Every structure is written in C-alpha cells, then in structure tokens.
Amino acid sequence: MPAVVTALYRYPVKGFSPDTLASVDLVAGETIPFDRAFAVENGPSGFDPAEPKHLPKMLFFCLMKNPSLAEVTTRFDAATQRFVVAERDGRLIFDGSLATDAGRAALAAFVGRRFPDEVRGTPRTLVSPGHSFSDVAKKVLHLVNLETLRALEAKLGAPLDPIRFRPNLVVDRLPAFAELDWPARRPVAIGGVPFEMVKRTERCAATRVDPALGVRDLDVPRLLMETLGHTDCGVYLRSLADGRIAVGDTLDV
C-alpha cells in the first residue's frame, strides 16, 4: 500500500500549539499559509518587518527554551486572524485579532503575564507579510513519518506524539527511517503536487517537551544519537508547484 498523509498542521504563532487542517492550498516555494506567520519576540531581536530575514529561534518564545508554552492550547482563524488561547481545562484566557497592531500588542502583553518566568525582555509580537518565522531560512513543509516514530517508541518504551516533532505533514506506510535516505532535491509527489527534498531535520531540545503537559520528560535527541548515530528525525520539503494537498493523499517518491 502507498504511503499516505494522515495529518496536516500549521503553527500560526511560533512556539504555540498547531491548527489541524483537512486540506491546504499551496503556492510553489511557499509555506502552508500562516505557518509561523507570527512570533513573539523575547527581548530585542533586531527583526525588521520592512526587510525580514531569518533569525535564530532563541530570539523568540519557542519550545526549546520555553516549554511552558505547551501548557496552553490555541486556535487561529485565517479569515479574520483571530487568535484564541485557552488553558488545558478549556478556560479562555486570550482572544484577539492579530491583524491589528492593537491585537498583536495585546498578545505580547498576555504572553508576558501568562509566562512571567520566561520573559527576558519586553515581549513584542512580530509579523511581516510573506515571512515565516521557521527554524530554517527556506520556506518549507516539515514531514514526519509515523513508522519512524514507532521504531523509536520501541527503543524508548514510551509513546511519541507526532506533535512533539512540530510537523506540517504526518505520513504513514512509509518504511521507518526511509525519509532520511532521500537525497537532496529528490522529487516527492503528495496528492499530485511535486516537492523536492531540502534537508533532514536536526532535532533540538524542543523534542524533549511533552506537547500535552509543557514539561521536559524524554531525551529524544539522546535517543536518536544512540539509535541512529545522529539527531535527525523528519525532513523538510519545498513545494515546486501550486496545488492542494489533503489528509488521505498518497505520497510517491
């Protein structure tokens, strides 16, 4: 049976929980719309919205440095840019539009109040049309293979939620670790949309964070190093044409 897409995600505000998507319309060479479109600066970063450039994630609130971000859940509406934050018990704690300066300022102030122990400077919500605050400079989609995670779970003796690895695409029925052997620029088709392999994903301390509890619990980078001799898990793909991809689409290499 061919490999298949089992889940699609976007992360509107860097470091916070994802939106689950049934399908998405892609533009060649671009990310999923609104993926990492916003980031909350944690002290001065030097980011210039007029001339946006890729900057290290450590300059923003992110799971690698701020695991408590996973204590809350978020929702984003692309049409209105409404961003809603709730505690895990369902209690609403922020509701505002990130389309306005006032709404973005309100989010930054909320982050400072909700996560005071994580603040290194005055928080500021950043955005620049067309820019993605991804961990990599290229505009990519991040793919994670469920069979790879199952193989790692067997070694670890504990379940690994795919969200721990911050994927845009989750696929199944692909042999474990097969994606790591794809050479650069290898053609991959998902639902008929062509992609190219960009690079493996080197995992950081963010994968140590339980995405449901916001605490560091599993040393995933160490597991990868002991199992594979490196810390790579997942791959980045770049779309080569406009098109729609959806849950249930097959993947062809």
Q: Count CB-CB contacts under 10 A for residue 50.
A: 5
Give, for 103, the enclosing helix (H) or strand (E). helix 101-114
- The DSSP 8-state label assigned to residue 18 in this structure reads P
The CA distance from 209 to 214, in Å, is 6
For residue 93, CA distances in Å to 64, 89, 106, 206, 230 come to 23, 11, 12, 24, 40
Statement to judge: residues 22 and 59 lie in one domain: no
- The DSSP 8-state label assigned to residue 99 in this structure reads T
Boundary (domain end) residue, out of 67, 96, 126 = 126
Q: Give the burial class of 212: count Cβ atoms within 10 A of its Cβ; 0-12 exposed, 13-18 middle, 19 or more buried.
A: middle
CATH of the domain at 242: 2.40.33.20
Statement to judge: residues 93 and 168 lie in one domain: no
Q: Is residue 174 in some structural domain?
A: yes
Domain count, the chain: 2
Give the pLDDT band (50/70/90) at residue 185: confident
Statement to judge: residues 96 and 142 lie in one domain: no
Statement to judge: residues 63 and 105 lie in one domain: yes
Does the structure show a pLDDT above 90 at 78? yes
Give the pLDDT band (50/70/90) at residue 246: very high
Boundary (domain end) residue, out of 91, 108, 126 = 126
Q: Is residue 34 in some structural domain?
A: no
Give the pLDDT band (50/70/90) at residue 77: very high
Across the range 86-105, mean pLDDT stands at: 97
Statement to judge: residues 54 and 170 lie in one domain: no
Statement to judge: residues 14 and 55 lie in one domain: no
Q: Is residue 21 in some structural domain?
A: yes
Statement to judge: residues 202 and 147 lie in one domain: yes
- The DSSP 8-state label assigned to residue 102 in this structure reads H
Any bridge partners for residue 42, and if so which? 123
Lookup: tokens for 171: 């696929």
Lookup: tokens for 244: 């729609």
Across the range 83-109, mean pLDDT stands at: 97
Across the range 91-107, mean pLDDT stands at: 98
Across the range 228-244, mean pLDDT stands at: 97
Statement to judge: residues 174 and 228 lie in one domain: yes
pLDDT digits (tens, 9 = 90+) for 8-54: 999 999 999 999 999 999 999 999 999 999 999 999 999 999 999 99
Statement to judge: residues 111 and 176 lie in one domain: no
Statement to judge: residues 147 and 25 lie in one domain: yes
Q: Is residue 237 in some structural domain?
A: yes
Boundary (domain end) residue, out of 107, 126, 145 = 126
**Measured on CA atoms in the order 134, 138, 140, 142, is the torsion positive or negative?**
negative
Across the range 104-121, mean pLDDT stands at: 97
The CA distance from 136 to 179, in Å, is 18
Q: Give the β-pairing of 250-252 and 187-190.
A: antiparallel
The CA distance from 147 to 203, in Å, is 17
Q: Is residue 131 in some structural domain?
A: no
Q: Is residue 144 in some structural domain?
A: yes
Give the pLDDT band (50/70/90) at residue 1: confident
**Taking all residues of the chain, what is their mean pLDDT, rounded to a whole number?**
96
Phi-psi category of 161—alpha, beta or left, where left has phi over 0 and alpha has psi -120 to 50? beta
For residue 67, CA distances in Å to 61, 127, 183 come to 9, 22, 33
Statement to judge: residues 118 and 204 lie in one domain: no
Does the structure show a pLDDT above 90 at 186? no
Range of the domain at 24: 3-29+136-252
pLDDT digits (tens, 9 = 90+) for 135-179: 999 999 999 999 999 999 999 999 999 999 999 999 999 999 999
Lookup: tokens for 239: 């779309």
The CA distance from 140 to 32, in Å, is 8
Rounded to two decimals, the pTM is: 0.96
Lookup: tokens for 198: 């960009």
Statement to judge: residues 70 and 22 lie in one domain: no
